[in-house]
Chains A and B, each alone.
Chain A
Amino acid sequence: MNDAEILTMVLSALMWQKYNGSIKLYTDNRGYEFIIEHGLLSLWDKGIDTEVLENNTYPIDPEIFWAAGKLMALETQTAPCVMLDTDLIVVRSIHEQLEQTDIIALHAEILEPDVYLHPSLLKQPLDFKFPDYYNWTVSPSNTAFLYIRDESFKKFYLNESKQFMFNNYEKPKELVTQMVFAEQRMLSICADHMGLPLTYLISDPFTLSNMDVIHLWGFKSLLRENKNIQNLYVKQLLNTLGKELSTNAFFLHFMESYFQNQPNYL
């Protein structure tokens, strides 16, 4: 993680706490060490859990299903709950939206056939068959943000996902399509099957009417390769969101210890 990604993670957690409530981080031992190294141990008011990921024995290939850890964390939390990626900042209160619906994801995704593969092209575990009730025409959902109100729906979704991921070891040519099916398309399919309305925080990822979220998304690759962009992004983020946290003790300490010797950002 570079400075820009770390700042985004910090703002994601602090802004969530400011406007929307408590937050806990699920990570593994390696992630925990990173958190300690960077003095971020008290960033999440509900603490940090490493046991869920470290003690998990699910038969899942982490290379193919690289985001399965998120689903394991979601399994541990009791609904209603929100799953929030560390590269996504919710900049205002969304309580009202959460109260009005059963499931909210970040935004709908285009059903691109080379990303969301035809079921016959997906690698499947032995003796696995997709249920006939799967509606393959529904739009997948970006789950960088996911709210689920109902525990039984959460269990249904995660069980369907696990059935696909468990013992599914055949390597695809790329490492995108299997995961996005198990996480993002599966969510929409399950909601459709259960007849639950699936709504979105934003109507379109790039709409200017979005006043709720900043999400690094694919921008991370540019941030990683261009230090100038990293500097500018950090500066702008601090200019716009820094004042929101001007009395937050953690933020002030973070700024002092992390950015004190990096005047380019200020």
Chain B
Amino acid sequence: MQVESDFTKDNTPQVSNDFRQYIFILAQDIALYSESFEKKKKNLRVRCEREMVEYNTLEYNLTLFFELVEDYRKSNDQVLYRFLKLQAGFCYIDEPNFVKLQIPNAGKVNNESISSDVCRNRTSDSTSSDLQGGIVGGHLFGLD
């Protein structure tokens, strides 16, 4: 039977480069320079209307992104970094801009495979091969 899912499809909605740049600067101000997201929401709403982007969705996605940045800073968990990168996409932050945000990738790994040794984290909840970032097939649902 033919598989129906296209696991490689990029579902990121298209927006103008101006808007992308605006979001990047906003993300930089908040994630890097700890500025208030609250104070930027009014302007964000105006920009969203101009760009025909659903404001509530983007606000939710950005909030989640900033929370994940904080979570990642506390844990330096490699799989969290992968989710952070994924969430950046929902906020129109493409990979080059994500890299420019300079969120240090603590567990940088090669592209082909990750050694299970690297991420081993044995807790009371662990099995023999439990890995801190130990999801198998994450790339099948969008993780890099």
Contacts and interface: CB of A to CB of B under 8 A. Distances in A.
Contacts of A233: 83, 141
B140 interface: yes
If over half of A's interface residues share one DSSP class (helix, strand or loop), that class is named, otherwise mixed; here it is: mixed
Interface residues of A, number: 56
A206 interface: yes
A262 interface: no
B97 interface: no
A202 interface: yes
A205 interface: yes
A235 to B, nearest CB: 9
Interface stretch (A28-36, A48-56, A160-168, A238-246): A238-246
A212 B137 CA distance: 8
A197 to B, nearest CB: 22
Given A213-B137, A219-B134, A206 B128 contact: no
B141 A218 contact: no
Interface residues of B, number: 49
Given A206-B136, A221-B123, A232-B86, A244 B5 contact: yes
B125 A214 contact: no
A175 B124 contact: yes
Interface in B97-144: 111-117, 119-143
A109 B116 CA distance: 9
B71 to A, nearest CB: 6
B131 A217 contact: yes
Given A220-B125, A228-B64, A236-B86, A202 B4 contact: no
Contacts, number: 154
B113 A241 contact: no
B7 interface: yes
Contacts of A18: 1
Contacts of A206: 113-116, 136
Interface in A102-116: 106-107, 109-110, 112, 115-116
B29 interface: no
B32 to A, nearest CB: 19
18 contacts: A18-B1, A93-B1, A93-B3, A109-B116, A110-B129, A184-B128, A205-B129, A215-B135, A218-B119, A219-B134, A221-B132, A222-B79, A222-B80, A226-B80, A228-B68, A232-B87, A236-B143, A244-B3
Interface of B: 1, 3-5, 7, 11, 60, 64, 67-68, 71, 77, 79-80, 83, 86-87, 111-117, 119-143
Interface of A: 18-19, 89, 91-93, 106-107, 109-110, 112, 115-116, 140, 142, 174-177, 179-180, 184, 202, 204-208, 210-222, 224, 226, 228-229, 231-233, 236-237, 239-241, 243-244, 264
Given A222-B80, A244-B3, 11 more contacts: A92-B3, A115-B122, A214-B136, A214-B141, A218-B130, A218-B134, A226-B80, A228-B68, A232-B64, A237-B141, A264-B60
